[in-house]
Amino acid sequence: MAGKAFLILADGWQAEGVSVGAEGTVWGEVVFHTALTGYPEIFTDPSYWGQILVMTLPHIGNYGTAAEEWQHEKPMIRGLVARQVSGFFSRAGRAVGLPEYLRMHGIPAIAGIDTRALVRRVRQKGAQNALLTTTPPTQEMWEKLIQYPSMQGTELASQVTTARPYTVGEPSGLRIALLDFGVKKAILDQLVQRGAYVGVFPAYTAPEALQAFEPQGFLLSNGPGDPAAMPQAIATVSELVKWGRPILGICLGHQLLSLALGVPTYKLLFGHRGSNHPVKDLRTGRLYITSQNHGFAIDAAELERHPDLILSHINLNDHTVEGFVHRHLPLQGVQYHPEASPGPHDSHEVFDEFMAAVRLQAVLPSR
């Protein structure tokens, strides 16, 4: 028989449900995701480090989870909230049930609560810290919740980045140096599929070490936390910009590129997390349905005032910035996730555009 679990938000909202994961107590920022499928990819996305994730779909877990879907070797969410989690699953191949998977990795989860009411609360009051526990809440737990650091001002990339450099792809390919702030496996796959030889480097690698790889382009990956709390990474990106080689920033990487160019970021009320967010490419008028996962955005007014940057993509739900390009340098940032995983493949061409710029760089005379 399943035991009880409890969820308490920092503003006092609380719910009691059943435990469908590991036993224990966790604190983190509570956020929600609206995807209908793809929970194995979502739960293993390093961008969710430090967060308690609410799935808006009423029922998840019916197809278990398998290694080929994982974006990291282990789940990266702090805790899970769902209306119902299936204890049974059905699929071909090797897989494990979702409750078993969560228990294996020590992830507490609560089910049997009104997730619609919870999501409405988060939309109205904003993403906030929460407590998820499988034991009756205590005053000590509540006090820790009140004192728990806000996501704003918190650096987390150092907790999810690779410990040492490694490479993927064929050495004969175009050389891309990727700064790993919490990279998803799908981003590496997209680059390798396009003929890249990718050197994956820890988040705070010095520019000189990146230069030693002799890259023809740079990719700044996705990741968790507040980009403004990463001055060392911003300084590194500023140096990379001076070298004039193609740079693609994705999600957190997009924000770091923006900050390196002098355009500030800010925290969204509840963020964008889902696989059906409409984005418009202002250069072509084309619309994309995109996968998204971010709690920060770049300042649209400051971007449009920047003499060298062009707003290239907007979110059609709230008109926040979804992308920019540089007028003179081969620099591009996209807030959404062109690799998807999960989500539609509409925007895979972002990688085509980046690799085309890298190929052009490869044939130009060295500076």
Residues recognised as catalytic: 251, 337, 339
b/e burial code for range 163-181 (CB count within 10 A of at least 16 → b):
eebeebbeeebbbbbbbbb
- The rounded distance, in Å, linking the Cα atoms of 234 and 149 is 22
Residue 149: CB partners within 8 Å, gap ≥ 6? none
Residues 6 or more apart in contact with residue 2 via CB below 8 angstroms: 18, 19, 20
Phi/psi of residue 174, nearest 5 degrees: -65, 135
Crossing angle of helices 185-193 and 349-363, in 10° steps, is 50
Alpha-carbon Rg for the chain in angstroms: 20
Side by side, the strands of the sheet bearing 166-168 are 166-168, 196-202, 174-180, 217-220, 247-250, 331-334, 321-326, 309-315, 265-281, 287-298
